[in-house]
Chain A
Amino acid sequence: MRVALSVTCVNDAMFPDTGKAVVTLLRRLGVDVAFPAGQACCGQPMVNTGYLDEAVPVVRNYLETFAGYDAVVTPSGSCAGSARHQHDIVARRSGDPALVEAAAGAPPTYELSEFLVDVLGVVDVGASFPHSVTYHPTCHSLRMLGVDDRPRRLLEAVRGLRLVDLPSAEECCGFGGTFALKNADTSIAMGADKARHVRETAAEVLVAGDNSCLLHIGGMLSRQRAGVRVMHLAEVLAAQEGAA
């Protein structure tokens, strides 16, 4: 199986360690993931703000970049959701039948926890991370993709990791892409409640499957000097702290 990594534009530019963690983790599990250099973005920022014409070249680039692979894996529930639910909309908008066909025949894009549990069939990825962790299920992974408890099962199998329940875990953190800017006050009010719930757990680390949500929650926690570290799920699953 030829598997490509779609690292996502946000991770590429802002969170390279997450991409490196995915590479390390997948190699450890015997998957030599490719990184097609033409990749840039899935188009979600434009689509979710209403700029469908602008999204057309971005989606075209995505579809061309990953066309030859059997599967695409991405450390973002949100971008996986965009690939699976929005690319056909953008393709239809373009009026280009070739693009519509490309979207219909595109290889499946899996969010990381789906790829690990469903495609590779592993739950114990051989990680060790001796810290207390709380997990925020991001909305798109939870409700758009339906990853359900896959990330939790992966975390529960990590050696040394103590998983603490996050109160009101399934409530949105308030990031929402351009919502965070267009409706900044509401976004911050939602983020403040999420940050409060995180602090209530007294966990050392907040884990989620989307760095954009962590950018928002982590930004609030940092401003509040909460001392809680935020980490992407991939980085925890790649960790082998204190392992023999």
Chain B
Amino acid sequence: MTATFVGMPPFPEAARAALADTQLRSNLAHATATIRAKRAAVVAEVDDWEELRLAGAAIKDNTLLHLDEHLVALEAALTARGATVHWATDAAEACAVVARVARDHGVDEVVKVKSMVTQEIGLNEALAAEGVLAWETDLAELIVQLGDDLPSHILVPAIHRNRAEIREIFERRMKDVGRPAPDDLVDDPARLAEAARLHLREKFLRARMAVSGANFAVAETGTLVVVESEGNGRMCLTLPDVLVSVVGIEKVVPTWQDLDVFLQLLPRSSTGERMNPYTSTWTGVTPGDGPQEVHVVLLDNGRTRALADEVGRQALRCIRCSACLNVCPVYERTGGHAYGSVYPGPIGAILNPLLRGVGTDEQVDSLPYASSLCGACFEACPVRIDIPSVLVDLRAQVVDAHRAGAPKPEALAMRAAAWSLGSGARLGRLERLSGVVGRVAGRLGRRTLPGGRRALGRLPGLGGWSGARDLPAPPVESFRAWWRRTDGGRTEERA
């Protein structure tokens, strides 16, 4: 994959381009509406859903607050069961570990289970630089990889593509990297899935090394868990001799029993199913079954920075279900690429700034503002991440990071507004001025709003607002002026 998020413009600009793509918008509207309905139906089946959410949030919070202890326990349990544990502070270190294992075994290709974290660290590119080809085996990841494209959704990275586009990508590209697409391929989802099955099977059967992530890592037992649908995960986790799992340090849960909460929350929130088709769990090496050499890479890459953020810490509870994306009215219209990261949507708008820090990159700084703060994400999140509150807190961090140096026009406007809005007397003086505008508009305005009020149309200097929205003319008399004149309406009533 040569496509990259590096150098993406800030969100408003990227969103403008995406909004202009009507095909993209209709693909997304259709897909998100479908998944929203499925999720709502299976969540409604669970009477104590709210309690499960509270339990999920509490388990994750307790784990994060003692993360050091749980990581040490996880390491010990894994080692006792025959796994090799590696630690990585950043993407480069993690990629180097995987490349070293590949080199030690002399492999020039690996099969991959869909994993957000290996996208985050740019593993495929790093392996390619070492001469190792990484084959994505999840259907949507395959579509993205073959299309030399970028993922735009956590669960369904190719959500922005429709069936016709997918057929074209398969037909054009499969033959370059393995078994070609069938000659009579049509754009029916079942036939496209069949083409992927045939294309990937030869890769699964010959693979000697696989790379995965993990949805959960149980500290007490050293058990890793992968939740999936297609069986590509099982293929990768079972058939090769060597398995390397890259696991973000926030994936830890303390005990095996804790999984009961997450195995209920995740599938219903994610694919909108009671349970996903396949969940695999493994604890180190099992003699005679599956990979006989098992590595686990525990990755920081900004997570401890997020952990230090008192308000933002809760973002590390995220189980990557993507429910927040599917309910987000902004995501639904802009799609995932506009967020410029493998983590798009509401969770991306907080996670990227938390992992990378604010104040240095304009694109990252634009993300906390990519939300109307409607709160639909918080309502849907199975681990109750209060995304709107984190967004507001991050906005303050962005503003604070720029307080030194010359103030931007927005900062000046905010200072002026705060001054006017800091006292009733000052606001009253401003309203007398706008009343003059109202009087003029009343005399000159040609447009009237339903209900009789004068309207202002396109206004110079208000381009952002007035390009598509009229504005009512200011009233001649403010509420406070009316109150003073009529003693709160008492003299008016008498008159």
Contacts and interface: CB of A to CB of B under 8 A. Distances in A.
Contact between A and B in the complex (any CB pair below 8 Å): yes
Given A50-B392, A58-B418, A215-B471, A16 B477 contact: yes
B65 to A, nearest CB: 21
B392 A40 contact: no
B489 interface: yes
Contact of B372 (A23, A144, A172): A172
A152 to B, nearest CB: 18
Interface in A74-90: 85-86
B136 to A, nearest CB: 30
A49 to B, nearest CB: 6
A24 interface: yes
Interface string A120-145: 00000000000000000001101110
Contact of A54 (B371, B398, B415, B425): B415
B478 interface: yes
A58 B475 CA distance: 24
A230 B376 CA distance: 24
A231 interface: yes
Interface in B469-483: 469-472, 474-475, 477-480, 482-483
Contacts of B396: 47, 50-52, 93
Contacts of B392: 47-48, 50, 86
B451 A50 contact: no
B15 interface: yes
Interface in A171-199: 171-172, 174-192
B423 A38 contact: yes
B421 interface: yes
A11 interface: yes
Where chain A touches its partner, the secondary structure class is helix
A81 to B, nearest CB: 9
B468 A220 contact: yes
Where chain B touches its partner, the secondary structure class is helix
A202 interface: no
A215 B457 CA distance: 13
Given A45-B417, A54-B418, A57-B418, A189 B333 contact: yes
Contacts of B431: 12-13
Interface in A185-225: 185-192, 215-216, 218-220, 222-223
Interface string B446-474: 01011100010100000011011111101
A228 B12 contact: no
Interface of B: 11-12, 15-16, 19, 329-330, 333-334, 368-376, 378-379, 388-389, 392, 394-400, 410-411, 414-415, 417-427, 430-431, 434, 447, 449-451, 455, 457, 464-465, 467-472, 474-475, 477-480, 482-484, 488-489
A161 interface: no
A40 B427 contact: yes
Contacts of A50: 368, 392, 394-400
Nearest to A11: B479
Given A49-B414, A190-B330, 17 more contacts: A9-B427, A13-B427, A13-B430, A19-B482, A20-B479, A41-B421, A46-B417, A48-B373, A51-B415, A54-B417, A139-B374, A140-B375, A176-B371, A185-B12, A192-B468, A220-B469, A223-B468
Contacts of B488: 23, 35
B333 A186 contact: yes
A35 B450 contact: no
25 contacts: A7-B479, A15-B475, A19-B483, A35-B488, A38-B425, A45-B417, A46-B417, A50-B368, A50-B392, A51-B396, A51-B415, A57-B419, A143-B376, A171-B329, A176-B371, A179-B371, A179-B373, A182-B369, A183-B11, A183-B12, A183-B330, A190-B330, A218-B449, A219-B468, A219-B469
A219 B471 contact: yes
Interface in A56-76: 57-58, 60-61, 65
B422 A57 contact: yes
Nearest to B391: A48
Contact of A49 (B379, B397, B399, B465): B399
Nearest to B401: A50
Interface of A: 7, 9, 11-17, 19-20, 23-24, 35-41, 43, 45-52, 54-55, 57-58, 60-61, 65, 85-86, 93, 139-140, 142-144, 170-172, 174-192, 215-216, 218-220, 222-223, 227-231
A190 B372 contact: yes
A176 B472 contact: no
Nearest to B370: A183
Contacts of B333: 186, 189-190
A191 B333 CA distance: 11
A188 B372 contact: no
A15 B431 CA distance: 12
Contacts of A179: 369, 371-373
A167 to B, nearest CB: 12
Contacts of B479: 7, 11-13, 15-16, 19-20
Nearest to B375: A143
Contact of B489 (A24, A175, A182): A24
A13 to B, nearest CB: 5
Contact of A40 (B398, B426, B451): B426
A196 B319 CA distance: 35
Nearest to B403: A53
A201 to B, nearest CB: 15
Nearest to A45: B417
Contacts of A144: 375, 388
Nearest to A38: B424
Contacts of A230: 450-451
A16 B465 contact: no
A92 to B, nearest CB: 11
Nearest to A24: B489
Contacts of B398: 50
Contacts of A11: 479
B334 A186 contact: yes
A46 to B, nearest CB: 6
Contacts of B477: 16
Nearest to A39: B424
B30 to A, nearest CB: 14
Closest 4 CB pairs of A and B: A176-B372, A219-B469, A50-B395, A172-B374
Contacts of A17: 475
B468 to A, nearest CB: 5
